[in-house]
Chain A
Amino acid sequence: MQKPFLDTKIPEGPLEKKWSNYKQHAKLVNPNNRKKLEIIVVGTGLSGASAAASLAEMGYQVKSFCFQDTPRRAHSVAAQGGVNAAKNYKNDGDSVYRMFYDTLKGGDFRSREANTYRLAECSASLIDQAIAQGVPFAREYGGYLRNRSFGGVQVSRTFYARGQTGQQLLLGAYQGLMRQVKAEKVKLYTRHEMLDLVLIDNKAKGIIARNLDTGEIERHGAHAVVLATGGFGKIYYLSTLAMGCNASAIWRAHKKGAFMANPSWTQIHPTSLPQSGPYQSKLTLMSESLRNDGRIWVPKDQNEKRKPNDIPEEDRDYYLERKYPSFGNLAPRDIASRAAKEQIDAGKGVGALKNAVYLDFSRALKEYGKNIIKERYGNLFDMYRKITGINAYDEPMKISPAAHFSMGGLWVDYELMTSINGLFAIGEANFSDHGANRLGANSLLQACVDGYFILPYTLSNYLATEIKVPKTDIQHKEFDIAEANCSKLLEDFLTTKGTKTAEEFHKELGKELYDKCGLSRSKEGLEKAIENIQKLRKEFKSNLIVPGDAAEVNSELEKAGRVADYLEVAELMCIDALQRDESCGAHFRQEYQTEDGEAKRDDENFSYSAAWEWTTNPSKPNLNKEPLIFEFVKPTVRSYK
């Protein structure tokens, strides 16, 4: 049936030789044969656009799908702070090995050594690639590239384009993609949402997609399918993600046999804008780069009534600097978020709802002057003023943690292939490189590295065995079945005719997850959450309301499909968090902490990735374990003190 369970396919050899060994021995497809092979890429963010463009440049026929109205809107666009690369331009002791180690340690030793090393190894080429595309990265006056620091590291290896690095990298990839559209190597399907994956003889052979403008259901066949559909942090409803971000593509692939790994590992970002009211639809991120110059504090007294600028130094608690003197305000995200929650829970939160902490630039403003700060973070200060009406040059920002990045995702092997043959997952949609906590500026990197540099080799290695396979027949009965199921699902949503909107279900689910499977989790809470989610799912089936019909633009129908999937993903997240009786990275179980409140890992029993298998009952998934074998690095207690 399926591939042998959890064969990671890590190549032989020393760590620094594994990827070159792989490339030297990977099977190739002759240029004349490439044009006969079709590849579907779902998603046009950094990983999807870079993969589609690179594969098309090689000569494959690519079909590229996105639900937005143009590929350039995919949510990679919103990444602000930067992208890491071990160029060591700063001569400050950086190297591929150090970047690998920082990433592995940042992930609390819960990722695969070989994958993480490869990420660091390919990082330098990405900067070269982006520069060649015309990405306007920040420069020194002499004309060379500039760097800054991000959380969890002690070198400056982050490249950036003001506070819009994601936008500029995405435009580079998007323009590369459109160049291939012009060359007729890529056929673009915008405003299309993938509804199902189609398997023929246990291989991924196509997708069912819905044209969101006409409602038409379409069949698309290929020799391989690539999911580059991003993360699902939007499951918490309030998150830093775009409104349309969803888990539907990977979840429907999961239901066809692709394993989901570590789904509960969600990064809660420490510097987002706090919620201001119940009507709120999203939380806006303020880049981590602000922590280079901003200092985080709360008043020492929980009954503090003074305005922030009137509170003298001795009445402020710079708790990150106090608790983690060597990393200070640049402690990794999981630690910074948890520390903020600790202060807020202790009643020291600031703002009307007492749900925030201060991020203060007064010292940096004094030291460097307003012009330098404006140049570094101008657009972020502007955004802050637009949303809150407050000028952060005059008083500290108020920030708060928010759901941000899914470290979990589809399980993939070293080749980025899922447990379904011919189905690949790249970028945030897979689980591979970040362990239990992602370091800042590594997500743009992973998306690009997967798409530009890894998939072209590994997908070719797979396709080399498919060159004699004819084009997929979309009249095959598997397509009939999948299409009928999709139509029925949409019909069910429309005919339920209850009283509660998809959005209302989503809000309720999000709150439940945030409270019980968010920054901190407990056995009791998770068990309760599972019960509540099951109830909510049941109610969804009988009480959903979706107006209009399926053969037209219908955004409520789109939402219903996404929320239906979220209601199942959420339960798996809780089950995943419940089985892991340890704390690691972003996964903090209250029962497992050190005396001073830090995460307490249990390497003896939990040094594995949990790869969940669908069993048709969302409450009873099968657990497969991929043991994490550390050949080259000895996991240590992760300390940033």
Chain B
Amino acid sequence: MKIYLKIWRQKDNLSKGSFKDYTVEDVNKDMSFLEMLDTLNLKLVKQGERPVEFDHDCREGICGQCGVMINGIAHGPLKNTTTCQLHMRSFKDGDTIYIEPFKAEAFPIVRDLKVDRSSLDRIITSGGFVSVDTGQAPEANSIPITYEEAEAAFDAAACIGCGACVASCKNSSAALFTGAKITHLELLPQGQKETHKRVAEMVEQMEKEGFGHCSNTEACQVECPENISVLNIARMNFEYNKSKLLVKK
């Protein structure tokens, strides 16, 4: 296949970026999307040009490091699929593909398609954990957790932290990311003790980072590679309100 690319190139967060045109010949349908970019980069480097910088690492859909907007959609056209797991069989010969970074105020551009998502780390740092030190843990089976509870907690815990929810949201809200962690820990007895403090701190950190508010368009769930449910956002709002009523200042 022959694929035409329009790729966002930007030197750093202070410079102005623009789309540049590239053509990749000999694209195989079994190639992954990133391997198609590798093919382009090989050509560019051999010509002594700067390759397109993009984030990636595990290339099996779990580390959450890859992620670009493909024709305006986070991670591209396939549902529940990260950029690295998208294959060229989803495109056809002669297609033109627009590739842009995940854009949000809280995700400054590092270079080209690479963005800085440390704002998500800071949300976890603010309270996304169970306060247990190594050595304090009781016998694992001493707290039974029903199958349903464990599965529901897992559904929320499956978030890979890629930031597609933020990039897909017209308000650049991180509500799905934050709500998923709050829900994961809130559904388990180990995490419940700190719920009120956690939810208040995480929501405040989210705002401090410059993420927008959720206006319930549900675009985040549609583009989430892990299919994290927007019900996590509802739970976050519920727990947040509760924490404001119940926590003594």
Instruction: Using CB atoms and an 8 Å cutoff, list the residues of chain A in contact with chain B.
Output: 50, 53-54, 57, 68-75, 77-78, 87, 89, 125, 127-134, 136-145, 161-162, 164, 166-168, 171, 174-176, 178-179, 181-182, 188, 190, 213, 242-244, 276-277, 279-282, 284-285, 382-383, 386-387, 389, 452-453, 456, 499, 501, 503-504, 545-548, 552-553, 555-556
Asked if B58 and A77 make an inter-chain contact with CB atoms under 8 angstroms apart, the answer reads yes
Asked if B35 and A75 make an inter-chain contact with CB atoms under 8 angstroms apart, the answer reads no
Asked if B146 and A143 make an inter-chain contact with CB atoms under 8 angstroms apart, the answer reads yes
Known: A132-B190, A190-B118, A547-B48. A383 touches B140 (CB 8 A): no
Q: How far is the CA of A284 from the CA of B158 in the complex (A)?
A: 19
Interface stretch (choices B49-57, B91-99, B208-216, B238-246): B49-57
Asked if A144 and B141 make an inter-chain contact with CB atoms under 8 angstroms apart, the answer reads yes
**Residues of B with C-beta under 8 A to A143:** 144-147
> Can you list 27 A-B contacts with CB-CB less than 8 angstroms, sorted by A residue number?
A72-B121, A75-B63, A78-B58, A78-B63, A127-B140, A131-B140, A132-B137, A132-B190, A134-B157, A139-B149, A175-B129, A176-B132, A176-B134, A178-B125, A179-B129, A213-B110, A213-B116, A386-B61, A386-B87, A452-B134, A499-B46, A503-B42, A545-B45, A547-B49, A547-B51, A553-B114, A555-B51
16 other A-B residue contacts (CB within 8 Å) besides A87-B140, A167-B160, A242-B58: A54-B134, A73-B58, A74-B63, A134-B130, A134-B191, A143-B146, A162-B154, A243-B59, A277-B31, A279-B28, A281-B35, A386-B78, A387-B87, A389-B87, A553-B111, A556-B45
Asked if A129 and B58 make an inter-chain contact with CB atoms under 8 angstroms apart, the answer reads no
Q: How far is the CA of A605 from the CA of B226 in the complex (A)?
A: 52
B1 at the interface (CB under 8 A from A): no
Q: How far is the CA of A537 from the CA of B215 in the complex (A)?
A: 57
Q: How far is the CA of A553 from the CA of B52 in the complex (A)?
A: 11
Name which residue of chain B comes closest to A389, CB basis: B89
**Residues of B with C-beta under 8 A to A285:** 60
Known: A137-B150, A178-B124. A242 touches B59 (CB 8 A): yes
Q: How far is the CA of A148 from the CA of B110 in the complex (A)?
A: 44
Asked if B58 and A553 make an inter-chain contact with CB atoms under 8 angstroms apart, the answer reads no
Asked if B35 and A383 make an inter-chain contact with CB atoms under 8 angstroms apart, the answer reads no
Known: A78-B63, A178-B128, A243-B59. A57 touches B140 (CB 8 A): no
Name which residue of chain A comes closest to B156, CB basis: A136
**Residues of B with C-beta under 8 A to A555:** 51, 53
Asked if A134 and B126 make an inter-chain contact with CB atoms under 8 angstroms apart, the answer reads no
**B210 vs chain A, min Cβ distance (A):** 18
Kindly name the residue among B56, B81, B136, B140 whose own CB sees the greatest number of chain A CB atoms within 10 A.
Answer: B140
B188 at the interface (CB under 8 A from A): yes
**Residues of A with C-beta under 8 A to B5:** none
**B24 vs chain A, min Cβ distance (A):** 11
B64 at the interface (CB under 8 A from A): yes
**Residues of B with C-beta under 8 A to A282:** 59-60
Name which residue of chain B comes closest to A383, CB basis: B61
Interface of B is mostly: loop
Number of contacting residues on B, CB 8 A? 79
Asked if A75 and B57 make an inter-chain contact with CB atoms under 8 angstroms apart, the answer reads yes
**Residues of B with C-beta under 8 A to A277:** 28, 30-31
Q: How far is the CA of A624 from the CA of B185 in the complex (A)?
A: 49
Which of B53, B55, B85, B118 is close to A387, meaning CB atoms less than 8 Å apart? B85
Asked if B137 and A131 make an inter-chain contact with CB atoms under 8 angstroms apart, the answer reads yes
**B190 vs chain A, min Cβ distance (A):** 5
Asked if B53 and A132 make an inter-chain contact with CB atoms under 8 angstroms apart, the answer reads no
B184 at the interface (CB under 8 A from A): yes
Which of A70, A128, A171, A386 is close to B85, meaning CB atoms less than 8 Å apart? A386
Asked if B190 and A279 make an inter-chain contact with CB atoms under 8 angstroms apart, the answer reads no
B34 at the interface (CB under 8 A from A): yes
**Residues of A with C-beta under 8 A to B153:** 134, 136
Which of A77, A139, A190, A244 is close to B145, meaning CB atoms less than 8 Å apart? A139
Asked if B57 and A73 make an inter-chain contact with CB atoms under 8 angstroms apart, the answer reads yes
Name which residue of chain B comes closest to A76, CB basis: B63
Name which residue of chain A comes closest to B55, CB basis: A69
Name which residue of chain A comes closest to B27, CB basis: A279
Asked if A140 and B147 make an inter-chain contact with CB atoms under 8 angstroms apart, the answer reads yes
B65 at the interface (CB under 8 A from A): yes
Q: How far is the CA of A368 from the CA of B73 in the complex (A)?
A: 38
Name which residue of chain B comes closest to A456, CB basis: B134
Q: How far is the CA of A440 from the CA of B116 in the complex (A)?
A: 35
Kindly name the residue among A162, A242, A452 whose own CB sees the greatest number of chain B CB atoms within 10 A.
Answer: A242
Q: How far is the CA of A142 from the CA of B146 in the complex (A)?
A: 6
Asked if A68 and B154 make an inter-chain contact with CB atoms under 8 angstroms apart, the answer reads no
Asked if B130 and A128 make an inter-chain contact with CB atoms under 8 angstroms apart, the answer reads no
**Residues of B with C-beta under 8 A to A145:** 140-141
Asked if B53 and A280 make an inter-chain contact with CB atoms under 8 angstroms apart, the answer reads no
Name which residue of chain B comes closest to A131, CB basis: B140
Asked if A244 and B146 make an inter-chain contact with CB atoms under 8 angstroms apart, the answer reads no
Asked if A133 and B144 make an inter-chain contact with CB atoms under 8 angstroms apart, the answer reads no
Asked if A243 and B28 make an inter-chain contact with CB atoms under 8 angstroms apart, the answer reads no
Asked if B138 and A128 make an inter-chain contact with CB atoms under 8 angstroms apart, the answer reads yes
Asked if B118 and A134 make an inter-chain contact with CB atoms under 8 angstroms apart, the answer reads no
